[in-house]
Amino acid sequence: MELMRYLEETKFDAVLTDPFLPCGQIVAEHLSLPSVYFLQQMPCGIPCGLDFEATQCPNPPSYVPRAFTDLTDHMSFLQRVKNLLFDTQNLFLCDFAFQPYSKLASEFLQREVTVLDLLRKGSVWLLRLEFVLDYPRPLMPNIIPIGGVHCAHKELPQVGHALFSLLVCPRPVMLLS
Protein backbone atom coordinates (compact mmCIF):
# COMPACT_ATOMS: atom_id res chain seq x y z
CA MET A 1 0.00 0.00 0.00
CA GLU A 2 2.96 2.30 0.56
CA LEU A 3 3.93 1.92 -3.09
CA MET A 4 0.40 2.74 -4.26
CA ARG A 5 0.35 5.80 -2.02
CA TYR A 6 3.66 6.92 -3.53
CA LEU A 7 2.32 6.42 -7.07
CA GLU A 8 -0.85 8.39 -6.28
CA GLU A 9 1.15 11.29 -4.83
CA THR A 10 3.61 11.42 -7.74
CA LYS A 11 0.92 12.37 -10.29
CA PHE A 12 2.14 10.41 -13.30
CA ASP A 13 0.62 11.14 -16.73
CA ALA A 14 0.28 7.59 -18.10
CA VAL A 15 1.19 3.95 -17.59
CA LEU A 16 3.32 2.21 -20.23
CA THR A 17 2.85 -1.54 -19.93
CA ASP A 18 2.78 -4.80 -21.82
CA PRO A 19 -0.82 -6.03 -21.75
CA PHE A 20 0.17 -9.73 -21.82
CA LEU A 21 -0.21 -9.80 -18.03
CA PRO A 22 -2.76 -7.23 -16.82
CA CYS A 23 -0.92 -5.93 -13.76
CA GLY A 24 -0.11 -2.60 -15.43
CA GLN A 25 -3.73 -2.16 -16.50
CA ILE A 26 -4.92 -2.75 -12.94
CA VAL A 27 -2.53 -0.08 -11.65
CA ALA A 28 -3.60 2.34 -14.40
CA GLU A 29 -7.28 1.77 -13.62
CA HIS A 30 -6.68 2.27 -9.90
CA LEU A 31 -4.77 5.51 -10.51
CA SER A 32 -7.25 6.67 -13.22
CA LEU A 33 -4.41 7.07 -15.70
CA PRO A 34 -4.44 6.40 -19.45
CA SER A 35 -2.74 3.18 -20.52
CA VAL A 36 -0.18 2.93 -23.30
CA TYR A 37 0.25 -0.72 -24.31
CA PHE A 38 3.50 -2.00 -25.79
CA LEU A 39 2.70 -5.33 -27.40
CA GLN A 40 4.68 -7.63 -29.65
CA GLN A 41 2.37 -9.58 -31.90
CA MET A 42 2.39 -13.39 -32.23
CA PRO A 43 3.69 -15.62 -30.89
CA CYS A 44 4.11 -13.34 -27.86
CA GLY A 45 0.86 -11.42 -28.26
CA ILE A 46 -2.13 -11.75 -26.00
CA PRO A 47 -3.52 -15.29 -26.01
CA CYS A 48 -7.00 -15.99 -27.38
CA GLY A 49 -7.06 -12.86 -29.52
CA LEU A 50 -8.06 -10.59 -26.65
CA ASP A 51 -6.13 -7.78 -28.30
CA PHE A 52 -8.35 -8.07 -31.38
CA GLU A 53 -11.49 -8.08 -29.26
CA ALA A 54 -10.35 -5.20 -27.04
CA THR A 55 -9.49 -2.97 -30.01
CA GLN A 56 -12.55 -4.15 -31.99
CA CYS A 57 -10.41 -5.28 -34.93
CA PRO A 58 -12.14 -7.77 -37.23
CA ASN A 59 -10.69 -11.26 -36.80
CA PRO A 60 -13.12 -13.78 -38.36
CA PRO A 61 -11.98 -17.41 -38.08
CA SER A 62 -13.40 -18.12 -41.52
CA TYR A 63 -10.73 -15.89 -43.10
CA VAL A 64 -7.90 -15.39 -40.61
CA PRO A 65 -5.87 -18.53 -39.86
CA ARG A 66 -5.32 -19.17 -36.16
CA ALA A 67 -1.87 -19.68 -34.69
CA PHE A 68 -0.43 -23.20 -34.74
CA THR A 69 -2.94 -24.51 -37.32
CA ASP A 70 -0.49 -24.42 -40.26
CA LEU A 71 -3.27 -22.98 -42.42
CA THR A 72 -2.85 -20.19 -44.94
CA ASP A 73 -5.22 -17.40 -45.86
CA HIS A 74 -6.43 -19.56 -48.80
CA MET A 75 -8.52 -22.23 -47.04
CA SER A 76 -10.99 -24.80 -48.28
CA PHE A 77 -14.34 -25.21 -46.56
CA LEU A 78 -13.07 -28.05 -44.34
CA GLN A 79 -9.98 -26.03 -43.40
CA ARG A 80 -12.23 -23.12 -42.42
CA VAL A 81 -14.26 -25.48 -40.22
CA LYS A 82 -11.02 -26.76 -38.66
CA ASN A 83 -9.95 -23.16 -38.06
CA LEU A 84 -13.28 -22.37 -36.41
CA LEU A 85 -13.10 -25.45 -34.18
CA PHE A 86 -9.56 -24.56 -33.21
CA ASP A 87 -10.74 -21.06 -32.32
CA THR A 88 -13.59 -22.24 -30.05
CA GLN A 89 -11.19 -23.82 -27.57
CA ASN A 90 -9.79 -20.34 -26.94
CA LEU A 91 -13.06 -19.34 -25.27
CA PHE A 92 -12.52 -21.89 -22.51
CA LEU A 93 -8.77 -21.42 -22.37
CA CYS A 94 -9.06 -17.65 -21.89
CA ASP A 95 -11.60 -17.95 -19.11
CA PHE A 96 -9.33 -20.40 -17.31
CA ALA A 97 -6.08 -18.51 -17.94
CA PHE A 98 -7.28 -15.00 -17.08
CA GLN A 99 -9.68 -15.87 -14.24
CA PRO A 100 -7.05 -15.24 -11.51
CA TYR A 101 -6.34 -11.78 -12.95
CA SER A 102 -10.03 -10.93 -13.18
CA LYS A 103 -10.45 -11.96 -9.56
CA LEU A 104 -7.38 -9.95 -8.51
CA ALA A 105 -8.57 -6.87 -10.39
CA SER A 106 -12.08 -7.16 -8.96
CA GLU A 107 -10.76 -7.44 -5.40
CA PHE A 108 -8.23 -4.64 -5.80
CA LEU A 109 -10.55 -2.22 -7.62
CA GLN A 110 -13.51 -3.23 -5.40
CA ARG A 111 -15.88 -3.75 -8.33
CA GLU A 112 -16.55 -6.50 -10.82
CA VAL A 113 -14.12 -6.24 -13.74
CA THR A 114 -12.71 -8.60 -16.38
CA VAL A 115 -9.38 -8.59 -18.17
CA LEU A 116 -11.18 -7.64 -21.38
CA ASP A 117 -12.72 -4.61 -19.61
CA LEU A 118 -9.22 -3.50 -18.59
CA LEU A 119 -7.80 -4.01 -22.09
CA ARG A 120 -10.58 -1.98 -23.67
CA LYS A 121 -9.46 1.07 -21.71
CA GLY A 122 -6.13 1.22 -23.53
CA SER A 123 -5.52 4.71 -24.90
CA VAL A 124 -2.73 3.81 -27.32
CA TRP A 125 -1.46 0.44 -28.51
CA LEU A 126 2.19 0.45 -29.66
CA LEU A 127 2.15 -2.73 -31.72
CA ARG A 128 5.35 -4.43 -32.80
CA LEU A 129 4.25 -6.57 -35.69
CA GLU A 130 5.79 -7.66 -38.91
CA PHE A 131 3.44 -7.85 -41.88
CA VAL A 132 5.98 -10.01 -43.68
CA LEU A 133 5.73 -12.72 -41.02
CA ASP A 134 2.13 -12.22 -39.93
CA TYR A 135 -1.13 -11.93 -41.83
CA PRO A 136 -2.27 -8.40 -42.66
CA ARG A 137 -4.81 -6.99 -40.28
CA PRO A 138 -6.82 -3.82 -39.98
CA LEU A 139 -5.50 -1.28 -37.52
CA MET A 140 -7.75 0.92 -35.44
CA PRO A 141 -6.86 4.61 -35.00
CA ASN A 142 -5.35 4.06 -31.54
CA ILE A 143 -2.97 1.33 -32.80
CA ILE A 144 0.45 2.56 -33.88
CA PRO A 145 2.73 0.04 -35.61
CA ILE A 146 6.33 0.33 -34.50
CA GLY A 147 9.26 -1.60 -35.91
CA GLY A 148 9.34 -3.85 -38.94
CA VAL A 149 9.65 -3.23 -42.65
CA HIS A 150 6.36 -1.30 -42.85
CA CYS A 151 7.69 1.58 -40.76
CA ALA A 152 9.86 4.41 -42.06
CA HIS A 153 13.57 4.11 -41.43
CA LYS A 154 14.79 6.59 -38.84
CA GLU A 155 18.23 7.10 -37.39
CA LEU A 156 18.40 6.43 -33.66
CA PRO A 157 21.10 8.38 -31.82
CA GLN A 158 21.47 5.98 -28.90
CA VAL A 159 20.28 2.45 -29.39
CA GLY A 160 22.50 0.51 -27.01
CA HIS A 161 20.86 0.94 -23.61
CA ALA A 162 17.27 1.14 -24.85
CA LEU A 163 17.64 -1.94 -27.07
CA PHE A 164 19.38 -3.87 -24.30
CA SER A 165 16.65 -3.01 -21.79
CA LEU A 166 13.95 -4.15 -24.24
CA LEU A 167 15.74 -7.45 -24.87
CA VAL A 168 16.49 -8.16 -21.22
CA CYS A 169 13.15 -6.99 -19.85
CA PRO A 170 10.61 -7.29 -22.68
CA ARG A 171 7.50 -6.72 -20.50
CA PRO A 172 8.12 -3.45 -18.64
CA VAL A 173 5.66 -1.51 -16.55
CA MET A 174 6.63 2.15 -16.60
CA LEU A 175 4.88 5.22 -15.34
CA LEU A 176 5.38 8.31 -17.47
CA SER A 177 5.60 11.75 -15.90
Residue 140 burial (CB count, 10 A): 11
User: For residues 40, 148, 126 and 177, what is the CA-based torsion angle, rounded to 10 degrees?
Assistant: 110
Does 109 have pLDDT greater than 80? yes
* pLDDT value at residue 129: 74
pTM, two decimal places: 0.74
> Model confidence at 114, in pLDDT bands (50, 70, 90)?
very high
- Residue 147, phi then psi, degrees to nearest 5: 80, 165
- The closest of 24, 172, 58, 55 to 125, measured between CA atoms, is 55
Q: What is the pLDDT of residues 52-104, one digit of tens each?
A: 888 888 888 888 888 778 888 788 999 999 988 888 877 788 888 889 999 99
Confidence of residue 169 (pLDDT cuts 50, 70, 90): very low
